[in-house]
Structure 1
Amino acid sequence: MAVMLVVSGARPAHAGSPIAVVAAEAVWGDIARQVGGADVAVSSILTNPATDPHAFEASPMDGRRLGAARIVIANGGGYDGWLDRLMEGGGNADRPVVLNVAALVGWRDGDNAHFWYDLAMVRAVATAFAADCGAILPDRRAAVQERLQQFLDALGPLQQRIDQLRARYHGVPVAASEPIFGLMTRQIGLAMHDGDFQRAVMNGTDPGPSEVAGFERDLTERRVRMLILNEQTTGPATDRLEQLAQGAGIPVLHVGESLPPGMRYQDWIAGMLDRLDQALAHAPPGGPT
């Protein structure tokens, strides 16, 4: 069952009325839409891939949408703290069920909060959401469970792909400007370098001179075989890392935090895995480690 921070919204709904669902992030909104089907009316707040999620400011319209929601899906883990503030000021007399992903998966302070890059966590979220829908629309529980199973089955090829990549690239050294893709690289078994640099970025501080020098040395000396960059948070520092990687012939994998409009979760992840495979397959031999 989902983690319900506020439980009074779990009362049954009128038959035939779709459940109003608001997801903080488009990725959770898409998963809710696939599982809920016609039994839900889903809207997502963070939908623009060009937006830096960490600098997002909610609008009054977002507050009104939350005020009408029966289920709210929050990433949690400090990722969308703006949602907590918006919920506190909301005007929904019948408080919604809140599915907080961080609480559901046992997140702890300092852990990676990009949960959609871990298939086990995604399965848990989809299952919890289906349970919440069934509690609100008991007569539609069987239909929701059928769609849940279809979604879980659709994750099967992704798991097989991850297993193939793990068999092929386990232990291969890579680097990243921040830990956005860390949960996926861990499933594949890649050896992540420059952790101190990433932790500094994750904590909103500038990496120290030694961390920067070590990262740059990993690139110029080809100690890593791929550089991972967040396409939504670029700047002079990441531009320099990309230039150093390109100069050393190291492929660069750009990944994002927001599901592109019109794309399903499983297709989005599959595309990134394909690009990762292509990048590592053509990476130059590594230097000393």
Structure 2
Amino acid sequence: MLVFALLAAFAVLAGPARAAPLAVVAAETVWGDIARQVGGADVAVTSILTNPSTDPHLFEASPSDGRVVGAARIVIANGGGYDGWIDRLTDAGARARPAMLVVSRRVGWRDGDNPHFWYDLAAVRTVAAAFAETCAELMPDRRAALQDRLGVFLASLSPLQARIDALRARYAGVPAAASEPIFGAMAHAVGLAMQDEAFQRAVMNGTDPAPSDVAALEGDLTSRHVRVLIVNDQTASPVTDRLDGLARAAGVPVLRVGESLPPGLRYQDWIAGTLDRLSQALAPHPDQG
């Protein structure tokens, strides 16, 4: 009897057991990082596409990825035709289908739009709030904690927005070029006048740019009509390598951007570093006048 009494006393002192963290799978590391920041100790996050050197468009999921997805309570997918493989994994899962948070559906993406949503702070805010709500629906007793962490995360985006606004005030209307529209949302937020967009759309859609579009972009680089060339660091090709070479030969700065969050960085740090490099690229150089 004494043993049972002691056990009962310890149970009262310990209080109710805390629920196990929700298993969350993110197709991309950037969404996994945001989920981790908002979810805190209430979630256990696994990201699938973790290698920054991998071309996300060529990624093939493994059986082990399928097992991880099959055990998830929440799955975050980019959508917009970017990671269709995650749909196949969730459809093949052995257990009940997880709660799906598909970014493209949350931000009103339409066919043909740019699916690189992490370069759009408005989209990131929407996703963070949607994730907090999805978690709260599955663990209502943690709603307050989730909302607190969401508030901290959203506040941490304010310095990034201020930096974007400052760049826009200085560089709105400055001509810029890109190998594809990966950075399009942020370039628009900064106010850059993107040139040769037909070339970018062709690359994004996996088709060869028209010779006239190639010639126009190359001419803008060699004549230094554009202030910066933005290149996707994860989808190199002979065409993009040639553009890179032309830009450097002409003295046009090249800004390399990626599709995967580098290891060891938070989303905020990654974007802040990218904005720093954009600012350096746009700054007038002595030979540019």
Q: Sort the TM-score into its range (normalised by shorter chain).
A: over 0.9
**1:62 matched to which residue of 2?**
65
Aligned to 1:220: 222
Following the alignment from structure 1 to structure 2, what is the Cα–Cα distance between the partners of residues 163 and 243? Answer: 31
Q: 2:52 & 2:23 partners in 1: Cα distance? A: 24
Give the distance between the partners of 1:50 and 1:243, measured in 2 at CA: 21
Higher relative contact order, chain-length normalized (CA < 8 Å, sep 6+): 1
Determine which of 115, 125, 135 is the counterpart of 2:117: 115
| Residue 87, structure 1, aligned to residue 112, structure 2 | no
Q: What letter matches 1:86 in structure 2?
A: L
Identify the residue that residue 40 of structure 1 maps to in structure 2: 43
Aligned partner letter, 1:170:
A
Equivalent position to 1:127, from 120, 126, 129: 129
Unmatched runs of 5 consecutive residues or more in structure 2: 1-16
CA contact (8 A) 2:91 2:97 kept: no
Counterparts of 1:135-284 in structure 2, within 5 Å, are: 135-283=137-285
Query: Structure 1 residue 15: deviation in Å?
Result: 4.3
- Decide which moves more: 29-38 or 208-217: 208-217
Contact (CA 8 Å) 2:77, 2:102: kept in 1 or not? yes
Among all aligned residue pairs of Structure 1 and Structure 2, give the percentage whose two residues are the same amino acid.
71
- Matched residues in 2 for 1:143 and 1:232: separation? 37
Q: Check the 8 A contact 1:71/1:97 in 2, yes or no.
A: yes
Q: TM-score, normalised by structure 1?
A: 0.92
Q: Which residue of 1 aligns with 2:74?
A: 71
Letter in 1 for 2:31: W
- How many residue pairs end up in the alignment? 272
In the alignment, which residue of structure 2 is the partner of 1:9?
A: none
Contact 1:175 1:224 in 2 (8 A): yes
> TM-score w.r.t. structure 2 length?
0.92
2:54 is the alignment partner of 1:51:
yes
Distance in 2 (CA, whole Å) between partners of 1:15 and 1:70 is: 17
Please give the secondary structure, in 1, of the residue aligned with 2:277.
helix
Instruction: Render the CA deviation track for 1:153-200: whole Å, top value 9, x for unaligned.
Output: 100000000000000100000000001000100111100001010111
Question: What are the Cα deviations for residues 256-279 of structure 1, in whole angstroms up to 9, with x where unaligned?
Answer: 000011110000000000000001
What is the Cα deviation at residue 282 of structure 1? 3.6
Q: Which amino acid aligns with 2:233?
A: E
1:209-233 residue CA offsets vs partner (Å, 9 max, x unmatched) = 1111111000011110100000101
Match of 1:4 in 2: none
Give the Å deviation of 1:235: 2.0
Amino acid paired to 2:169 = A
CA–CA distance in 2 between the matches of 1:189 and 1:128? 28
Separation in structure 1 between the aligned mates of residue 233 and residue 101 of structure 2, nearest angstrom: 28
Deviations 1:133-158 (A, max 9, x none): 11111111111110000000100000
Tell me the amino acid that sits aligned with residue 200 of structure 1.
A
Structure 1 consecutive aligned stretches of length 4 or more whose deviation exceeds 3 Å = 282-286
Alignment deviations for residues 5-41 of structure 1 (CA, whole Å, 9 cap, x no partner): xxxxxxxxx9421000000000000000000000000
For 1:102, the equivalent position in structure 2 comes to: 104
Question: 1:129: how far off?
Answer: 0.3
* Alpha-carbon offset, residue 285 of structure 1: 3.5
RMSD after superposition: 1.1
